[in-house]
Amino acid sequence: LSGSPAGAQAEVRLSVPSLVEVMKGERVALNCTPLGAHDHFLLEWFLADRSGVRHRLASAELQGSELQGRVLDSRGRSPPFQLDAQGRLVLTEAQVGDEQNYVCVVKAGAAGTAEATTRLHMFAKPEATEVSPNKGILSVVDGFAQEIATCHSRNGNPAPQITWYRDGQQLEVPMEVNSAGYMTSRMVREASGLQSLTSTLYLRLQKADRDASFHCSVRYHLPAGQHGRLDSPPFRLTLHYPTEHVHFWVGSPSTTEGWVREGDSVQLFCRGDGSPNPEYTFFRLQDKQENVLKTNLEGNLTLEGVQRGQSGTYGCRVEDYDAAEDAELSKTLELRVAYLDPLELSTREELSLPLGNSAAVNCSVQGLPTPALRWTKDSVPLENGPTLSLSSITFDSAGTYVCEASMPTVPLLSRTQSFKLLVQGPPELRAEETQPKSEGSWREGDEVRLVCSARGYPVPNLSWSQLGGSPAEPAVGRQGWVSSTLTLKVTSALSRDGVSCEASNPHGNARHVFHFGSVAPQTAQAGVAVMAVAVSVGLLLLVVAAFYCMRRKGRPGCCRRGEKGAPPPGEPELSHSGSERPEQTGLLTGGASGGPRHGSGGFRDEV
């Protein structure tokens, strides 16, 4: 804004903003700058009140290059006005009372006088928005608008605006009173000069408003044409509306078909759509008569440990006297209790049958709904239905058979009963043949582990032809089988006779012989064995020859035929007693009669 002198020849012009905006509490400086070059001028600040009267606040005089100024009157403002070195009027901590017109007058002597006015506008952000909803019970039956809530916005400047929202949508309500809805507003200027706004909302409520979320919003002004928004916390209303519909159902653990298991605790739930919650009456229909079971406000009925005799028709009635005459306030349902009695088999826990026989076992059951039966053995399904047929049984037929009863419509309700089949018969024997470690044949001293397994009933005993067999124990992973092991070293005798394993029970026995074929001597001991045999045979021949010479003592040429030389001179002669044992006599006789050619062959056979 440029100010002009009073006369037409004026040359003084001012640069002054016509409007200055500031937030409450901020510092602001009002500028007044003479345009052009002046050696001397007098600058004065005035406050123009609403009646037009001017009050001088401060003045400054330019002398040379320095502006000398001072504040003359702060008009009671705290903190007081200030004048800076550029002649600007400074207001620290802007207040509501500072919203005035400020006039700057510059006198430049012969150059004339000029003045300009600045309007100061102060903005204050309101406090947090508060809302006070109606805490009472609001009836939707009433045909007029009721007070919903009051919204408060305090200590703002300029005055804010209040709008109302339902479920995020702005409510377009007029200020005029009507039966559908309206709002009222009241503005109050506080002692501080700030403004507070109060708005009250009135609406004619519907049943759909029972879940609605309401809030109010305050829109306030900021400098430079900006705006701010402060929303209140959301709130809901407590409404009173009559019951129109009733829902009655069986809670957990019912099935989709409505069955509950005998022994379970069953919950019945009843809910009306009226508010506040009405009173609920639970009853059971027996012979067309209502037997009241319970009355409460929660709408829940628990039947502890329900029994099959509690099956029947149950009902719930809502006691709402504000409901319409045609409203259906009572509902019924059928409670069906499923049960399954223990299973009964036509045989005892153990069934013993001879090998090859046939039999049939029946499984009987009582339950509701009708149970489904099936037979299994070792978790493998066999037959569906109550009868299990066993024909031409073998040892593989032995085991535990299970009858399972289940209800497809009640998945958690089932029972089982089982029996054990024992098959009597002579033992069945299996032997695990062991292959030699060396290629083709066993060697003397090789260690071998023999395994015999048997089954039958009664459980067979296992025995070995050699000592050292382990006690019979159940075979791992083979139901009904027992096994025994024998560990020994292979010899020539075992190669000739073999090793036998025998299984026996009162019905018979079974036997298996392990053969090893030819057994070769171990390589490391073969040379030693040949030498030992040769030395032994040589010694035996010498002894026989000595006895033979003793018997022929005294005869010419004795022991010289067949000998290369006579005994050394001086060697004592062997004497022979006539009391030889018969065995010795026979041996020697036989050896002599055999002659030199046949004597060695007869000895080999004896050995």
81 and 140 co-located in one domain: no
Domain boundary among 76, 103, 123: 123
Assigned domain for 573 exists: no
Total domains in the chain come to 5
Query: Cβ atoms within 10 A of the Cβ of 566, count?
Result: 10
209 and 158 co-located in one domain: yes
- Specify the higher pLDDT residue, 131 or 565: 131
Q: Which residue has the tokens 């602001």?
A: 28
438, two tokens: 């060396």
1-5, 116-120, 186-190, 323-327: least confident range: 1-5
410 and 429 co-located in one domain: no
The type of residue at 57 is L
175 and 227 co-located in one domain: yes
577 — pLDDT class (breaks 50, 70, 90) = very low
Q: What's the pLDDT tens digit per position in 211-269?
A: 999 999 999 999 999 999 999 999 999 999 999 999 999 987 667 677 899 999 999 99
Give me the mean pLDDT over the 40-44 stretch: 91
234 and 298 co-located in one domain: no
191 and 254 co-located in one domain: no
Query: Cβ atoms within 10 A of the Cβ of 503, count?
Result: 27
* Pairing label, strands 113-123, 214-221: unpaired
Q: Is 90 exceeded by the pLDDT of residue 181?
A: yes
Q: Which domain holds residue 478?
A: 425-514
Q: Do the beta carbons of residue 131 and residue 149 sit within 8 Å?
A: yes
CATH code of the domain containing 36: 2.60.40.10
Q: What are phi and psi of 593, to 5 degrees?
A: -65, -25
581 — pLDDT class (breaks 50, 70, 90) = very low
Assigned domain for 575 exists: no
**CA count, 13 A, side-chain hemisphere, 309:** 0
475, two tokens: 């075979």
> What was the pLDDT predicted at 530?
52
Farthest CA pair distance, the chain? 198
What is the layout of strands, in order, in the sheet containing 387-390? Answer: 344-345, 359-364, 387-390
> What was the pLDDT predicted at 256?
67
61 and 136 co-located in one domain: no
Give me the mean pLDDT over the 58-62 stretch: 92
Domain boundary among 398, 423, 448: 423
> What was the pLDDT predicted at 553?
58
Helix or strand or coil: residue 597? helix
533, two tokens: 């045999």
Q: Is 80 exceeded by the pLDDT of residue 71?
A: yes
Q: Whole-angstrom Cα distance, residue 593 to residue 587?
A: 10
Q: What's the pLDDT tens digit per position in 334-393?
A: 999 999 999 999 999 999 999 999 999 999 999 999 999 999 998 899 999 999 999 999
Percent of the chain with pLDDT over 70: 85
26 and 110 co-located in one domain: yes
Whole-Å CA distances, 231 to 72, 78, 130, 149: 46, 34, 8, 14
> What was the pLDDT predicted at 117?
95
